[in-house]
Amino acid sequence: MRKILINSLIISSLICTSTCVFAVKDVTTSPEDFYLKEDQAPNSLLLLPPPPAYNSIDFLRDKAQYDWGKSLRNTERGHQAYLDADTSKDNITEQFSSSFGFAISSDKTPEIYKLIATMKEDAGDLATRSAKNYYNRVRPFSFFHESTCRPEDEKTLSTNGSYPSGHTTMGYAIALVLAEINPQRQNEILKRGYEIGDSRVICGYHWQSDIDAARVMAGAVVAQLHTNTAFTQQLAKAKIEFDMLKQ
């Protein structure tokens, strides 16, 4: 009886092992929200230098920029920083609409919307994840024990690494792609993407060096996206849709 039980357990184990091998998938990504798999995204830990040490000259710059950001929070620019903190699909496309020259939404520009809504976490999550997890850099508001421009996000982000900035990588990557679709508005679009990074400093959620590193990762992830068939096919659809908008 004991021998039969042992044999049954072995067989069950082999079946489970076989099933698990074939069931393994990248559970961090899905076709609806990402173009890339985690192992296809540029590796921020390999590409970027470590964040500045607290006793370095570069950190003095980080501190100076943090003070600059605080001085703008109660201004119109500070309000824009608050809006930029919301990276939901509908909000981030809306925040680019003015610079793009046309409203970007799921009903008015479905192909452009789908392109941006799907690629945003390739940049904001996959391209920054490895360095964020490894360094787990303390965010400015936590370092100084001060509030931010958007208090409702503080609890969640207080335990999340600061370097590099996911919001900035996302914003600048989207800007690069939108500038390719509408090159006549590239200056306005890229400026808007650049501002999203500055907004993170203004809010107190990121150091300036987080922002600088994120802009590097934005270029890297867009380059990788251009090797992805699903992305390039959707980009082509977005360009056709844009050509129709101009008519």
Query: Which residues are CB-neighbours of 211 under 8 A, at least 6 positions away?
Result: 164, 165, 168, 197, 198, 200, 201
Cβ–Cβ < 8 Å for 150, 192: no
Task: Rounding to the nearest 10 degrees, give the CA dihedral for residues 69, 58, 132, 165.
Answer: 30
Task: Rounding to the nearest 10 degrees, give the CA dihedral for residues 84, 90, 93, 96.
Answer: -50
Which amino acids are annotated catalytic? Answer: 167, 200, 206, 210
To which residue do tokens 């941006």 refer? 116
Alpha-carbon separation of residue 247 from 101, 151, 240, 243, 244 (angstroms): 14, 44, 11, 7, 5
